[in-house]
Amino acid sequence: MTDSQINSAIAEACGRKRRPDGDWYPDNGIAGTQAILNYCTDLNAMHEAEKIMYKHHWMWNAYYYAVGAGVFSLHATARKKAEAFLKALGKWEEKQK
């Protein structure tokens, strides 16, 4: 998946909605806030995404193993966490060859 596809998939998993024109509805109802977070490069954005796992406890085990067990998970990049997040949700798509 490309960074753009990953960012879109995580944004949708976190509740963001697309407008009919393909852009995003504002996340807080204020015009000008349509952009989604860059989950692939921003650990703070991934931290926000990880918060939805509190609602879905079954995700933690799948996420833990997808990121990497043990200490490695503490040092995972935002991209690695984004990939693991989508794998835990079953929304990861391998690149077409």
Domain-embedded: residue 8: yes
Q: Which domain holds residue 30?
A: 3-89
Residue 97 within any structural domain of the chain: no
Q: Per-residue pLDDT tens for 38-75?
A: 999 999 999 899 888 777 666 777 777 776 654 456 67
Determine if the pTM surpasses 0.85. Answer: no
Residue 81, judged by CB atoms within 10 A of its CB (0-12, 13-18, 19+), counts as buried
Assigned domain for 94 exists: no
Within a domain: 25 = yes
Which pLDDT score is estimated for 32? 57
How many residues appear in the chain?
97
Q: Residue 18: which H helix or E strand, with range?
A: none
Domain count, the chain: 1
Asked if the structure places residue 96 within a domain, the reply is no
Residue 42 within a domain: yes
Residue 77 lies inside a defined structural domain of this protein: yes
Question: Which pLDDT tens digit goes with each residue over 4-18?
Answer: 999 999 999 988 888
Torsion-angle region of 2 (φ positive above 0: left; ψ -120 to 50: alpha; else: beta): beta
Q: Are 34 and 54 in contact (CB under 8 A)?
A: no
9 within a domain of the structure (yes/no): yes
